[in-house]
Amino acid sequence: MLSVLQVVRPATGGMRRHVATLCLGLPDRGVRCAVAAPLPVLDAPDDNTETHAAPIAAAFRPLRDLRAVAAVCRAASGRDLLHAHGLRGAWIASWASRRTRLPLVVTVHNMPGAAGTARRRLAGVALARACTVVAVSEAVADALRRGLARADVVQVVPNGVALPASVDQASARELLGVEPDAVVVLAAGRLAPEKGFDLLVAAAQEVIRGCPRVRILIAGDGSERAPLQRYAGEHGLTDHVRFVGQRPNMSAWYAAADVVAVPSRSEGQSLVAIEALAHARPVVASRVGGLPEVVRHGVTGLLVMPERPHELAEAIVALLQDDGARRSMGEAGRGDVAARFAVDRMLDSVAAIYRRAV
């Protein structure tokens, strides 16, 4: 059985769920995983997954990075491969790979930074060590091939999710304390500027005018939570906009929703969008990064231009007012996940990449 060390930068949400999926699903494919991550991230998905504390910082910190490399090298003892997640994880793992002579695979989950930035230069150094650079979407792959990684080592492996069992919307709403007669818009993720939650809150007044019974539920936490709550309070939105915090299990929240909004300014792919489609919920998303590869406009949801709250509000209201469109898009979305974003397909692809690397 192959032994792989997953090296994870400070992360919440989709990246952590992705790593947990690898740790839980790869043993059936002959791969045993361990995780090296900073303490806030270090939570084993099950009792069989080893964890090792590594002080990986969110930004370049020379002395702390040296300690993180040493910690990853210790955790890598007896492993066959290092698999880094995110460009900060890749930076640390690339130096550990040099020291241990273990092959390195890197998954890039988000769109790389702009050309010429220090972050991008460091990323290029890190990715040069990798035998395979996994991109979660064609948009990410195209960005990587533009001067960050050799085209021949970049491979697209979309995130995969399991199709959930059907959950009754009324039961989910009763469980979560959501009014049974409300129309519900759900948004989820890290509350950071690039995720565009401020655009959704800015669109809320127009959504409320179109659908007075709307409830906009925002699940997640981050640096933007306090400003977003303050804006909602100052504009009289608190009866309609609820911040429900970080939720480890989102299934009931997706089931309770009528529409899921992903108003990102930048997005490598969006695991939230895929999970929403798996729950047969149409998605209103920004036309950025890898989102157009997930959401088929007019088929599984609606795409809008980023930075335009009015367009976002119009699209949300259009779906909330059209029961038939929501049903048909939800069914098509669930079918798309089964065909294009199945978790077994992702796990098989990753296991095959590991075997080629060693």
| CATH class entry, domain 169-340 | alpha beta
Q: How many CA atoms lie within 13 A of 355 on its CB side?
A: 11
pLDDT in tens, 90-124: 999 999 999 999 999 999 999 987 655 777 778 88
Segment 127-153 mean pLDDT: 95
* Of the listed ranges 10-14, 30-34, 185-189, 243-247, the one predicted with least confidence: 10-14
Q: What is the rounded CA–CA span in Å between residue 44 and residue 37?
A: 10
Average pLDDT of the chain? 94
Q: What is the rounded CA–CA span in Å between residue 93 and residue 129?
A: 9
Q: What is the rounded CA–CA span in Å between residue 114 and residue 29?
A: 37
Q: Which residue is it, tokens 């976002």?
A: 312
- For CA atoms 219, 220, 224, 227, the dihedral sign is positive
> pLDDT grade, residue 199 (50/70/90)?
very high
Query: Can you give the pLDDT at residue 309?
Result: 98
Asked whether the domain spanning 169-340 has the same topology as the one spanning 2-160+342-357, the reply is yes
pLDDT in tens, 313-328: 999 999 999 999 999 9
Q: How many CA atoms lie within 13 A of 139 on its CB side?
A: 17
> pLDDT grade, residue 59 (50/70/90)?
confident
Backbone angles phi, psi at 3, to 5 degrees: -120, 120
> pLDDT grade, residue 42 (50/70/90)?
low
Show me where the domains of the chain are located.
2-160+342-357, 169-340
Segment 245-262 mean pLDDT: 94
Residue 40 has pLDDT above 80, yes or no: no
Q: What is the rounded CA–CA span in Å between residue 263 and residue 274?
A: 14
CATH number 3.40.50.2000 given to 2-160+342-357: yes
Query: Can you give the pLDDT at residue 44?
Result: 65
Number of residues written out for the chain: 358
Query: Can you give the pLDDT at residue 307?
Result: 96
pLDDT in tens, 74-90: 999 999 999 999 999 99
Query: Can you give the pLDDT at residue 46?
Result: 75
Percent of the chain with pLDDT over 90: 85
